[in-house]
Structure 1
């Protein structure tokens, strides 16, 4: 069901922003399931753009070409799977090399603008949980509940290492730690929509939290704030 522009902002949104491997994707998915809401994995759109650029032979520094690819992505999300031009790419977009390229294209203003309305179109009843890096600051600044999920870089590297190994990808903890530090620096210093907590976001450190504890912390915020003010 599509929502008119008049009703758009009446659909509640929980935004979960944070650095790579902070657990925001898993937490967002569990929160969305608990509430029966839709979920937006904004990072997947940037990974898809990076993958499509690679397949087309377009450099991640070619802003206008990358933006055209982002605007014309033939993408479908279905049953937890991701399809690009009809081909499932759920695992392909999670490769570490694509993650690095996604972080690079995400610094390009024209790419971010091309994907902005695509992201906002996910806002449908009964609600949306959106995870990314600028969900609460740029894409849904009026969201009633905003979370900034962080974790120690070493804890994040260990999580990423396990994720990659579980998916059958090679992984080196030292290399992952260095890559995460470089991505953090790039995401925080980029000119367009840098990684930063929204002024009204609640910061949750997941370094020593289980997934269930992090999920419950977000649900408690919604129960105490969003559900009353939505």
Structure 2
């Protein structure tokens, strides 16, 4: 029997950090589904294949190995741009959703984060969390993160990008970003990662007792 924790939310809300912390603490496997789209995009770029051919992109998505996703490599800006182009393709989404569902069967449990986990990928997950924060807070976090890495950043540009990404994620026809009807809302605008983890743990522990 496996136990799945589905975590959704907009960019820079803290769901990735929270997901990794939960997986480490509970001894579960972790999958950032955003990296599956980035891995598909990188494979297309590496092979010199077009990013606007849905059949070609689908073929590559069917081959992606979800166990070897390197965040440090896949976080490159060019890969992110390419991923946003193929992520809107229904055939690519179908292929990757099937792979993500197969990942969710791993024992003893999995923590899967993304944009449509509780609504599409794992609608029967016993724990669904929707992690969010005010757009200004999310932009500030990303801005501080970039500065901390020694790079230059413009807050207004990042803020505009956060709002644009929200519109794109929430407005797309296929698997839009939205909380599942039975998801627990975690607003991290004024929460530390420790406080968010504690709140999530209470929900998870209660569900594990029922399981």
Same structural fold, with TM-score higher than 0.5 when normalized by the shorter chain: yes
Cα distance in structure 1, aligned partners of 2:7 and 2:66:
23
Alignment correspondent of 1:99: 80
Cα distance in structure 2, aligned partners of 1:168 and 1:98:
21
Alignment correspondent of 2:38: 47
TM-score by length of 1: 0.83
Are residue 122 (structure 1) and residue 103 (structure 2) matched? yes
Cα distance in structure 1, aligned partners of 2:189 and 2:80:
21
SS at match of 2:182: coil
Alignment correspondent of 2:94: 113
SS at match of 2:7: strand
> Residues 179-218 of structure 1: matches in 2 within 5 Å?
179-218=161-200
Alignment correspondent of 2:158: 176
Cα distance in structure 2, aligned partners of 1:43 and 1:74:
14
Cα distance in structure 2, aligned partners of 1:35 and 1:41:
17
Structure 2 residue runs of 5 or longer lacking an equivalent are none
Cα distance in structure 2, aligned partners of 1:122 and 1:107:
22
Q: 1:100 to 1:63 in 2, by over 3 A?
A: same
SS at match of 1:91: helix
SS at match of 1:161: helix
TM-score by length of 2: 0.90
C-alpha contact (below 8 Å) 1:16/1:129 kept by paired residues: yes
C-alpha contact (below 8 Å) 1:18/1:195 kept by paired residues: yes
Q: 1:105 to 1:132 in 2, by over 3 A?
A: same
Q: CA deviation at 1:138?
A: 0.9
Q: CA deviation at 1:75?
A: 5.7
Bigger shift: 30-39 or 119-128? Answer: 119-128
Alignment correspondent of 1:15: 6
> Residues 77-88 of structure 1: matches in 2 within 5 Å?
77=68, 82-83=69-70
Q: CA deviation at 1:108?
A: 1.3
Cα distance in structure 2, aligned partners of 1:180 and 1:58:
29
Q: CA deviation at 1:114?
A: 1.1
Bigger shift: 23-32 or 10-19? Answer: 10-19
The equivalent position to 2:52 in structure 1, one of 40, 48, 61, is 61
Deviation per CA, 1:16-63: give whole Å up to 9, x if none. Answer: 100111110100000111111111111111111222233334444332
SS at match of 1:204: strand
Cα distance in structure 1, aligned partners of 2:27 and 2:145:
26
Q: CA deviation at 1:74?
A: 5.0
RMSD value over aligned CA atoms?
Answer: 1.9
Alignment correspondent of 1:139: 121
Cα distance in structure 2, aligned partners of 1:199 and 1:220:
19
